[in-house]
């Protein structure tokens, strides 16, 4: 396992659409281990491979509370197959957009098809925080950020803030 650097705005790689995983091999298993180590160290509840600069459709997630045992979940080639008409709002944040949180409205329930680490296909129905987190991470592998779901004014303000910070670091 290795702790990896999480890329942040304005890194253009965050807008890449990730490639499907064709074979679950030792490289994918190592990527999953690195994602979990990086996610737990951040700390976060979800991490997509593109957030560490790897354009593969791999997501890790753990919604357990701090005082609970870890409940790691892996979603490979995940895709939303159904969305409810009912909406829900959660305050979202992102490890690639540090220290910025905003309320986002998304479908309250979703069905998601994915592969597990053994290559077995599953379809699950999710609601609440689980549905929100799945949608957030699937957005990542599709090149979409949670700020794309907020007003253009707020999105432009946060994008400019991160671009300005990046220029300062480069200088």
* Active site amino acids: 137
Q: For residues 42 and 63, give the distance between their C-alpha atoms in angstroms, rounded to a whole number.
A: 14
Q: What is the DSSP letter of 17?
A: P
**Which residues on neighbouring strands pair with residue 88, listed in sequence order?**
106
Tokens representing residue 166 in the block: 């990046």
Q: For residues 104 and 2, give the distance between their C-alpha atoms in angstroms, rounded to a whole number.
A: 32
- Strands in 73-83's sheet, in edge-to-edge order, are 46-48, 58-61, 73-83, 109-115, 121-127
């Amino acid at each position: 396992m290795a702790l990896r650097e999480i890329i942040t705005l304005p890194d253009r790689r965050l807008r890449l659409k990730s490639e499907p995983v064709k074979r679950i091999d030792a490289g994918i298993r190592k990527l999953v281990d690195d994602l979990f180590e990086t996610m737990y160290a951040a700390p976060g509840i979800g991490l997509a491979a593109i957030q560490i600069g790897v354009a593969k459709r791999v997501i890790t997630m753990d919604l357990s509370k701090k005082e609970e045992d870890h409940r790691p979940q892996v979603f490979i080639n995940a895709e939303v197959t159904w969305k409810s008409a009912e909406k829900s709002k959660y305050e979202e944040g992102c490890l690639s957009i540090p220290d910025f949180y905003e309320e986002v409205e998304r479908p309250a329930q979703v069905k998601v098809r994915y592969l597990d680490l053994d290559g077995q296909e599953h379809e699950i129905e999710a609601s609440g925080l689980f549905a929100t987190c799945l949608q957030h991470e699937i957005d990542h592998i599709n090149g979409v950020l949670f700020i794309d779901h907020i007003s253009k004014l707020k999105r432009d303000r946060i994008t400019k803030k991160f671009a300005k910070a990046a220029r300062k670091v480069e200088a």
